[in-house]
């Protein structure tokens, strides 16, 4: 696996850094070799060997340009250049530096086995070469051989350490990026959930109230269209306007409570009570004022509910009655609350057409289903043959941590 080099995140590119290192090493090797030639007696070696030596210097130094992309190949080339150079040249320039750099790069680029193998081959070759020399003609004594072994081991170890360091930094960077992406994803998810929650609340509040206002005003206009006498028209208009006034007042109160979620830190919270099943009678009364004969029935023993669950149950009944008023063309509806030790079941039935306008209920039904699922419950809806029925199950044992998106 290729790891990012530190220079890749800075101002200098890897290619520029390699060119700079190659130039410095080439200048060092060439300068040392020139000084060796100048200080040596004239005619120390034939011209052909001098030319060969400079060719090997050029090959060894030039190969360093590819030390990152082809680390093993460059290490082999520099080693072979050094193997040929030192026995043939009388000047003993520092060409071995190119192999040392290539060996370090091989280990640093993750080719640890190849680096160890090259270092071992080099040490064995030098040791065997010196052992085969006649006594008194050895160029490297035992101490120098031990030092060479130490240098080779150090180059491989430092390269390995650099590789480990880069791998650690890369892992830390990737973890930081992953954590940042996860945090951004959670923030987006939270924002989306909050937006959907507010949209659902506004839909439930305004949809219900505006539907009732529309039905009430339409009924009043229908009566007035028959052109009754003043004695009949005035009470009908007054009754309709009072119903519209009461419905719009309730809508404004609930809308203020919903929009209170958008208030900034330090602003006062809304003081209006949160809607719940204790206000079911008001909800039924508004539906009756719109001309729908609504009956509420309770089975079992009611019990206090957490505010969020209480609100969810209220909204399901509210949206169901809104759909009946807007789409069902029904005359009567029955709201049944069934209480058990483990759950609350809601059932809203009407005697309307059901099927012709069932598709129009889709948005409201999805919102009710989401509320039920948020508490580990479920919601079903469909035609009964003589109307439409919505049935919801809200368990009491669901974790309160799921109520955040439904409040």
pLDDT of residue 141: 64
Domain range annotation of the chain:
14-132, 198-262, 277-395
Span 160-201, pLDDT tens digits: 888 888 888 888 988 988 888 888 888 888 888 877 777 777
pLDDT of residue 138: 58
User: Is residue 53 over pLDDT 80?
Assistant: yes
Mean pLDDT of the chain: 80
What gap in Å lies between CA 391 and CA 376, rounded to an integer? Answer: 15
- The mean per-residue pLDDT over the stretch 75-97 comes to 86
pLDDT of residue 405: 42
What gap in Å lies between CA 62 and CA 55, rounded to an integer? Answer: 10
User: Is residue 113 over pLDDT 80?
Assistant: yes
pLDDT band of 274, cuts 50, 70, 90: low
Q: Are 362 and 378 in contact (CB under 8 A)?
A: no
pLDDT of residue 92: 76
pLDDT band of 402, cuts 50, 70, 90: very low
- The mean per-residue pLDDT over the stretch 313-332 comes to 87
- Model-level pTM greater than 0.85? no
In DSSP terms, 382 is beta-bridged to 389
User: Per mean pLDDT, which range of 134-148, 216-230, 300-314, 362-376 is the poorest?
Assistant: 134-148
Tokens of 316: 């399901």
User: Is residue 337 over pLDDT 80?
Assistant: yes
User: Per mean pLDDT, which range of 49-58, 251-260, 352-361 is the poorest?
Assistant: 352-361
Tell me which of 233 and 262 has the higher pLDDT. Answer: 233
Beta sheet of 378-383, edge-to-edge order: 293-299, 332-339, 343-350, 388-395, 378-383
User: Per mean pLDDT, which range of 82-91, 236-245, 262-271, 331-340 is the poorest?
Assistant: 262-271
What gap in Å lies between CA 203 and CA 252, rounded to an integer? Answer: 13
User: Is residue 60 over pLDDT 60?
Assistant: yes
- Write out the chain in H/E/C secondary structure: CCCCCHHHHCCCCHHHHHHHHHHHHHHHHHHHHHHHHHHCCCCCCCHHHHHHHHHHHHHHHHHHHHCCCCHHHHHHHHHHHHHHHHHHCCCCCCCHHHHHHHHHHHHHCCCHHHHHHHHHHHHHHHHHHHHCCCCCCCCCCHHHHHHHHHHHHHHHHHHHHHHHHHHHHHHHHHHHHHHHHHHHHHHHHHHHHHHHHHHHHHHHHHHHHHHHHHHHHHHHHHHHHCCCCHHHHHHHHHHHHHHHHHHHHHHHHHHHHHHHHHCCCCCCCCCCCCCCHHHHHHHHHHHHHCCCEEEEEEECCCCCCCHHHHHHHHHHHHHHHHHHHHHHCCCEEEEEEEECCCEEEEEEEECCCCCCCHHHHHHHHHHHHHHHHHCCCEEEEEECCCCEEEEEEEECCCCHHHHHHHC
**So what's the architecture of 277-395 in CATH?**
2-Layer Sandwich (3.30)
Name the phi and psi angles at 314, rounded to 5.
-60, -45
pLDDT of residue 219: 74
Tell me which of 40 and 289 has the higher pLDDT. Answer: 289
Span 361-389, pLDDT tens digits: 666 788 889 889 989 999 999 888 888 99
Tell me which of 400 and 384 has the higher pLDDT. Answer: 384
CA-based end-to-end distance of the chain:
49
User: Is residue 133 over pLDDT 70?
Assistant: no
Tell me which of 348 and 41 has the higher pLDDT. Answer: 348
What gap in Å lies between CA 206 and CA 200, rounded to an integer? Answer: 10
User: Per mean pLDDT, which range of 16-30, 57-71, 239-253, 327-341 is the poorest?
Assistant: 239-253
User: Is residue 346 over pLDDT 90?
Assistant: yes
pLDDT of residue 24: 92
What gap in Å lies between CA 353 and CA 356, rounded to an integer? Answer: 6
Hey, how many other C-beta atoms are within 10 angstroms of the C-beta on 2? 10
Tell me which of 356 and 117 has the higher pLDDT. Answer: 117
Q: Are 339 and 303 in contact (CB under 8 A)?
A: yes
User: Per mean pLDDT, which range of 152-156, 163-167, 199-203, 243-247 is the poorest?
Assistant: 199-203
């Amino acid at each position: 696996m290729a790891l990012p080099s530190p220079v890749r995140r800075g101002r200098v590119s890897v290619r520029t850094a390699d060119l700079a290192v190659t130039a410095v090493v080439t200048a060092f090797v060439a300068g040392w070799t020139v000084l060796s030639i100048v200080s040596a007696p004239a005619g120390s070696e034939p011209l052909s060997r001098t030319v060969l030596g400079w060719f090997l210097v050029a090959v060894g130094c030039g190969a360093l340009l590819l030390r990152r992309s082809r680390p093993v190949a460059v290490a082999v080339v520099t080693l072979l250049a050094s193997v040929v150079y030192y026995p043939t040249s009388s000047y003993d320039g520092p060409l071995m530096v190119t192999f040392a750099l290539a060996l370090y790069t091989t280990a640093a680029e993750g080719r640890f086995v190849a680096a160890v193998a090259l270092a071992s081959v080099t040490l064995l070759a030098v040791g065997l070469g010196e052992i085969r020399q006649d006594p008194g003609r050895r160029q490297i004594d035992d101490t120098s051989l031990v030092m060479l072994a130490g240098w080779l081991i150090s180059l491989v170890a430092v390269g390995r350490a650099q590789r480990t360091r880069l791998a650690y930094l890369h892992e830390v960077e990737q973890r930081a990026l992953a954590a940042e992406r996860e945090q951004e994803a959670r923030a987006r998810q939270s924002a989306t959930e909050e937006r959907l929650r507010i949209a659902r609340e506004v839909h439930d509040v305004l949809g219900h109230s505006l539907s009732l206002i529309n039905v009430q005003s339409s009924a009043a206009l229908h009566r007035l269209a028959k052109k009754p006498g003043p004695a009949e028209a005035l009470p009908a208009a007054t009754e309709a306007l009072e119903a519209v006034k009461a419905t719009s007042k309730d809508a404004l109160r609930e809308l203020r409570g919903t929009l209170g979620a958008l208030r900034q830190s330090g602003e006062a919270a809304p003081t209006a009570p949160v809607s719940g099943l204790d206000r079911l009678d008001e909800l039924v009364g508004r539906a009756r004022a719109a001309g729908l004969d609504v009956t509420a029935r309770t089975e079992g023993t009611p019990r206090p509910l957490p505010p969020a669950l209480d609100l969810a149950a209220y909204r399901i009944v509210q949206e169901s009655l809104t759909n009946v008023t807007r789409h069902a063309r029904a005359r009567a509806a029955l709201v049944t609350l069934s209480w058990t030790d483990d759950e609350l079941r809601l059932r809203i039935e009407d005697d309307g057409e059901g099927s012709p306008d069932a598709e129009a209920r889709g948005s409201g039904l999805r919102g009710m289903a989401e509320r039920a699922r948020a508490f580990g419950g479920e919601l079903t809806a469909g035609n009964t043959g003589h109307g439409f029925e919505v049935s919801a199950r809200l368990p009491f044992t669901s974790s309160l941590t799921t109520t955040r998106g439904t409040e």
